[in-house]
Structure 1
Amino acid sequence: MTKLTTTVKATAVSIALAFASASSQAVEVLNLDNNGVKTKVSIGGYAKVDIRHVEGDIAYQDYWIGNFPGNQAVETSHTGFNVKESRVNVKVQHGDVSAFVEMDFYGGGGNEVVSNSSNPRLRHYIIKYKNWTAGQTWTTFMPLHALPETLDFGGPHVGEVFIRQTQLRFDYGNWQFAIENPETNGDGDIGAPSSAVGVTGTNADKDENTPDLIARYNHNADWGQLSVGALVRKVDQGGLDETAAALNIAGKINTFGKDDFRFQVTLGEAGRYVAAGMTPDIVTDPSDQQVKVEETTAYAVSYRHFWTESLRSTVFYGAATTDTLDRERSHWGVNLMSNLTPQLSTGVEFGNYEIADKGIESINSNYLQLSAKYSF
């Protein structure tokens, strides 16, 4: 006999793929028991409103990554309002099989004159079966547990591994192994589809035939979490035929009460995997005009302190440097956040983004951000 139960209730759901936090609230909209095989459908996400003021020599962005907006200093004093970080996800669980899809609104479109429209953007779309994960989600090289709690979308990107892409992953105890979508950035290809049928023509690198290989070990204990990840990939573009490798070490250490210290360090030829937008995978050395695989050193640290059960602050710093192009960029911030209800949080954050690349007199911009987020 088929038993159908439809409920609308808030339920705590652990979703390791959720951004920045390992848990979120969700609304279970369907619970079907068919001869002992359960099917559950839940809807989750959050609505987030940001008010952000940026002032300094670096042009305004809704959030800092590792790039140089406009590639020139711009005297800036700009206030922006947006809800584009807000997101909606759906999870379907049927026995050992589940699917998860999530979208936010950073897909472009619209303007601030009349409609302020924002197109949906695919973040995650995965299938999970027992120890297997297939689909688009965070790279296995990315340590989610090391991301700080921030209002700026993603925190100090410049010091973090931060990429989503399609992959096939296998979990074995504390180990994770994955093959992931290959993409070499810096040879004129930006990895963007040229038509409705996907990446075609000149947008498809003719030599990208080897998936990126990633292995990661995760250790969990009463004192916190620690992970070590290794990345190996083929760089067969721009006249090169090389193997690039990188290492990431990250952790979240419980300290006093509910406080924690988080860190990550990335060394090697991580390229597009780290410090988003800071450097391409391959670059031309200005000293000899030779094409080379760029090396990047990046790190991020943060400390979160709870003043009360819900009132808390995070202070964070992230930075990265490159070897060939001699780029140096950093981002720091401090915030104060509180939960008005278990689902509704508000906060204020002050921080600074600085660029000190070779040949550029150090420039920076300060930012002040107010945010409210309702999780469901």
Structure 2
Amino acid sequence: MLNKKNIILSACILAMSGAANAGYEYKISDNDTITFGGYIKADVRYVDGNIAATNYWYGSGTVLPESKSNFGIAVNETRFNTKYVHGDVTGFIEMDFYGDAVSGGGNEIISNSSNPRLRHAFIKYKNILVGQTWTTFQNTSSLAEAADFGGPLVASAFIRQGQVRYTIGGLQIALENPESFGGQSGDDKVPDFIAKYTFKGDWGNISVSGLARQLQTTGGDSESAFGYGIAGRLKTIGKDDFRFQLHAGNVGRYVGVAAATDLVGEEVEESTAIMVAYRHFWTDDIRSSVFYGNITTDLSDRDRSHWGVNIFKNYTKELSFGLELGNFEMAEQDADSDYVQLSTKYVF
């Protein structure tokens, strides 16, 4: 009979070797379980335009003097996670492979290696969560299903950071790690305060969130910043759903993944971002999403968009293939790039 150490060791070997079983959950005792999860994802990507190619589009990019084409194959989105549950206590950690490949010795000439990168690491006890995970300001269920990681991140709330969060029913209140993007980095003295309430039902969910921060300017002053968000996923016909996000105010780094800064000079930036996506099931194992996201800013006068349309097919419950066509645009710099992406994903 296997003892506790042998069970954990066997689970680690199976999870890391990519065994074909889905959902590695092991019951260690009546009060303890350990689960291994994640997925392997390979992306074949062709980009053409005057915004430099990246593994996925975020809210910014490098504008080229002229249009260029790029073909690449990458597996960096691949990730592994482990969850350990002991009664009312849950510990969770997840890593992917978007870490800096240069310092790790990786290059496209020989090894294509990359460093593991920490995504989540938190402890949850009853209603309290402490550690790093998705910001409370974000509604993860509203993100579009896309081959390009995260879909239109240019208009989505999307941050992982350290926090202390309290949850009671649909209400979540959190103090989160502060950072003045575009201001005096490292001098933040007051944690970001976030409150969110989520309404749920058979129809789907809608969340309303608010954000209050104290930003530090490069001149040494403090500026108050406030923003809000409304996001959700609504069931429509059959298995179809509609996803949306609307964020406005001084949301800064919380929305758009570098599309907007918190501060421009000594002034607080104001942004407006909207994201919509519709997912349709053609059959039980074939589905498509069409999505669009746009963000505009006041002081820096940015106007950036991302649209895409895709199709996914599940060959097994765990294995899927997807094809996506889309465009990322930085209108204020008269730059845009088209892309075609083929993705293969195997979920543990």
TM-score by length of 1: 0.85
SS of residue matched to 2:253: helix
Deviations 1:44-99 (A, max 9, x none): 10000000000011111110011132x44441100010000000001100011010
Give, in whole Å, the separation in 1 of the partners of 2:110 and 2:346.
Answer: 26
Match of 2:204 in 1: 224
- Name the residue aligned to 1:106: 98
CA distance in 1: counterparts of 2:139 and 2:34, whole angstroms: 28
- Compared with structure 1, are the counterparts of its residues 188 and 76 closer, same or farther at alpha carbon in structure 2 (3 Å cutoff)? farther
With normalisation by structure 2, the TM-score equals 0.91
- Between 1:230-239 and 1:214-223, the stretch displaced more is 230-239
Pick from 236, 239, 248: which aligns with 1:258?
A: 239
Q: Is 1:330 the counterpart of 2:330 in the alignment?
A: no
Find 1:241's aligned residue among 222, 227, 235. Answer: 222
Is 1:50 aligned to residue 43 of structure 2? yes
8 Å contact from structure 1 (residues 73, 363) kept in 2? no
Determine the structure 1 residue equivalent to 2:72.
80
Q: Which ranges in structure 1 are unaligned for 5 or more consecutive residues?
A: 10-23, 190-203, 285-290
Secondary structure of the residue aligned to 2:211 is strand
Give CA-to-partner distance per residue, 1:9-43, whole Å, 9 cap, x none: 9xxxxxxxxxxxxxx95212x3122xxx5111111
Match of 1:158, SS state, is: helix
Counterpart in the other structure of 1:300: 275
The answer to whether the 8 Å contact 1:143/1:227 transfers is: yes
How many Å separate the matches in 2 of 1:129 and 1:235? 31
**180-189 vs 328-337, which deviates more?**
180-189
Q: Could you tell me how far apart the structure 1 residues matched to 2:109 and 2:46 are?
A: 19
Counterparts of 1:49 and 1:134 in 2: how far apart (Å)? 32
The answer to whether the Cα contact below 8 Å between 1:59 and 1:73 also exists between their aligned partners in 2 is no
Query: In 2, distance between residues paired with 1:86 and 1:248?
Result: 30
Aligned residue number for residue 24 of structure 2:
27
Shift of 1:187: 2.7
SS of alignment partner, residue 308 of structure 1: coil
Structural mapping, 1:256-295, within 5 Å: 256-284=237-265, 291-295=266-270
Query: What is the alpha-carbon distance in structure 2 between the residues aligned to residue 237 and residue 130 of structure 1?
Result: 38
Aligned residues: 331
Q: What is the correspondence of 1:123-272 to structure 2 with a 5 Å cutoff?
A: 123-187=119-183, 189=185, 204-205=186-187, 208-239=188-219, 240-272=221-253
Q: CA deviation at 1:363?
A: 2.0
Query: Structure 2: which amino acid aligns with 1:105?
Result: F
For the pair 1:369 / 2:344, whether they are aligned, the reply is no
SS for the counterpart of 2:51 is coil
Query: For 1:25 and 1:272, how far apart are their aligned partners in 2?
Result: 36
CA deviation after TM superposition for structure 1 residue 220, in Å: 0.5
In structure 2, give the amino acid aligned to 1:258: K
Spell out structure 1 runs of 4+ moving beyond 3 A.
Answer: 3-9, 71-74
SS in 1 for 2:109: coil
| Alignment-derived partner of residue 65 in structure 1 | 58
Unmatched runs of 5 consecutive residues or more in structure 2: 12-20
Shift of 1:322: 0.3
| Matched-pair contact (CA < 8 Å) for 2:225–2:268 | yes
**1:75 match: secondary structure:** strand
Q: Deviations for 1:275-324, whole angstroms, at most 9, x for unmatched residues?
A: 1111221113xxxxxx2111010110000000000100000000100001
Q: Distance in 2 between matches of 1:348 and 1:372?
A: 9
Alpha-carbon contact 2:183-2:215 (below 8 Å) kept: no
The answer to whether the 8 A contact 1:59-1:74 is kept is no
